Amino acid sequence: MAKHYQILTIGGGTAGIMASSLLKKKNPSLQIGIIEPADTHYYQPAWTLVGANTYDFDKTAKPMAELIPEGTDWIKEYADKFEPESNKVITKEGNEFTYDYLIVAPGIKIAPELVEGLQEAMDKGAVCSNYTDPKHTWETLKNFKGGTALFTQPATPIKCGGAPQKIMYLADDYFKKSGVRGKTDILFALPGGSIFGVKVIADTLMDVVDRKDINVRFFHKLVKVDADKKIAWYEIEKDLSAGGCVTLADGDESQLDREIQYNYKDVKVTRDGDLFGIHFDMMHLAPPQSAPDFIRNSPLVDAAGWVSVDAKTMQHTKYPNIFSFGDASNLPTSKTGAAIRKQAPVAVYNILKMIEANSLSNKEYNGYTSCPLVTGYGKMVLAEFDYDKNFKPDPKLKQFPMMVGDSSKEHWRLWVLKKYILPHLYWTKMMKGIEV
């Protein structure tokens, strides 16, 4: 016999816990079940700082049992199959749960298998990632003796789009301290044509790139990693039919395509047909990411494999009693905890209104997200923007004294926000179902 809940939540991450806590706060009598197999809940935004040895990894973890809201049932199993026509979820263990309303918030899956050779290379030797093992990142930075330091990001959506470059700016600072920066070329290879999607922030970051003397290579799609030879292979995602070897100087920098190369450095690159292999002495990468397999194989997704929802209400486009937000949804914004901070309350108000009157509330999500872009030890820019990529500081954050001034520019006060205030807000407010 299937166990029934008024609200069934899939996922004990930021989205699932915040929404369940908020629902319980608004209506303590609700019967809520949370399907989550993990024992530990991590505050992942601090992993950037862990990778640069300026935050304690242990402080990013709490037992899941402490986060599950009081009065809800923790179902410590893996969700596996959806039967939305009969309001049912089946776990890997074969247990069935039915619901009046379903929240689908399982987060995102790290998918190194999408890049050839990456599974073998991940978190070993000179290949590191704050996304998977920030302690190994720090070991890699510490052991680096100079050469080519390559930082890269994949062509898939990822958690916190700014994270692949934050650690690069911190690494530059650390290499100066450790005395190896003078014999180091820092490269940032990315698939897009701009360093950030919001122009005012991109302008600030290009100033940082200039100051730190970093070579940016645009339109570079990572397709293969050769860990033994320390080569990262890229396709160039730009029409090269005009001829010429536009990404390599070959002794003549005047021939370079400036849309691909910014602040060119003559590091070793091997060409193999249409592939360009950048030789590295260390590489930090954001691995490719996707929705979890049980989501991608479900009837809930769009053609790209993300849960299909209305961009303003979080309601599923086909099943009105299903809501999804956070990293597994197809909301067209960055996948960050800051976005969830604004998404969860909208979904909660809509679910409560559905329970009460079978209609949606008047609350809508405008696409707000923020990306705290650390640009060095003690420096940060706060990119806050909406669906239209407008720079849009949140009035709630403006209440904090360190938010005085223009947050699109670097400031030490914003570093204080990142390192001390945001973790506090996360654990004591968001995870307790308090709107911030």
Considering only CA atoms, which of 177, 183, 249 is closest in space to residue 213?
183
- What are 255-302's pLDDT values in tens digits? 678 789 999 999 999 999 999 999 999 999 999 999 999 999 999 999
- The pLDDT value recorded for residue 80 is 98
Looking from the CA of 282 toward its CB, the CA atoms found within 13 Å total: 26
Sequence-distant (≥ 6) Cβ neighbours of residue 391 within 8 angstroms: 198, 200, 201, 383, 384, 385, 408
- The pLDDT value recorded for residue 244 is 41
Q: For 365, phi and psi rounded to 5 degrees?
A: -100, 130
Neighbour count for residue 8 (Cβ, 10 Å): 28
- What are 81-93's pLDDT values in tens digits? 999 999 999 999 9
Which residues lie across from 216 on neighbouring strands?
A: 188, 262
Tell me which of 62-66, 160-164, 209-213, 239-243 is least confident.
239-243
Considering only CA atoms, which of 377, 420, 373, 283 is closest in space to residue 54?
377
- The pLDDT value recorded for residue 248 is 58
C-alpha–C-alpha distance, residues 84 and 300, integer Å = 8
Choose, from 10, 160, 231, 431, the residue flagged as catalytic: 160
> Could you give the residue ranges of the DSSP H alpha helices within 10-133?
14-26, 47-51, 64-67, 118-121
Please name the amino acid found at residue 324.
S
Sequence-distant (≥ 6) Cβ neighbours of residue 377 within 8 angstroms: 52, 54, 170, 173, 174, 415
pTM: 0.95
Choose, from 149, 348, 371, 422, the residue flagged as catalytic: 371
245 is catalytic: no
371 is catalytic: yes
When pLDDT is averaged across residues 18-44 and rounded to a whole number, the result is: 98
- The pLDDT value recorded for residue 398 is 76
Q: How much of the chain, in percent, has pLDDT values that exceed 90? A: 90
When pLDDT is averaged across residues 8-27 and rounded to a whole number, the result is: 98
Neighbour count for residue 138 (Cβ, 10 Å): 20
Q: Are 436 and 341 in contact (CB under 8 A)?
A: yes
C-alpha–C-alpha distance, residues 134 and 161, integer Å = 17
- The pLDDT value recorded for residue 237 is 86
Domains of the chain: 3-108+291-365 (3.50.50.60), 112-285 (3.50.50.60)
Q: In the block, which residue shows the tokens 């190194």?
A: 112
Query: Which residues of 227-274 form beta strands (DSSP E)?
Result: 231-236, 261-262, 269-272
- What are 377-425's pLDDT values in tens digits? 999 999 999 999 999 988 888 777 766 678 999 999 999 999 999 999 9
Query: Which region, left, alpha or beta, applies to residue 280 given φ > 0 means left and ψ of -120 to 50 means alpha?
Result: beta
- What are 209-250's pLDDT values in tens digits? 999 999 999 999 999 999 999 999 999 987 655 444 445 545
Question: Is pLDDT of 155 > 60?
Answer: yes
Considering only CA atoms, which of 38, 16, 57, 34 is closest in space to residue 430?
16
DSSP secondary structure, 86-107, as one string? GTEEEETTS-EEEEEEEEE---
Q: Are 284 and 164 in contact (CB under 8 A)?
A: yes
C-alpha–C-alpha distance, residues 198 and 200, integer Å = 6
- The pLDDT value recorded for residue 275 is 95
Q: State the Cα torsion 60-64-68-73 to the nearest 10°.
A: 170
C-alpha–C-alpha distance, residues 266 and 264, integer Å = 7
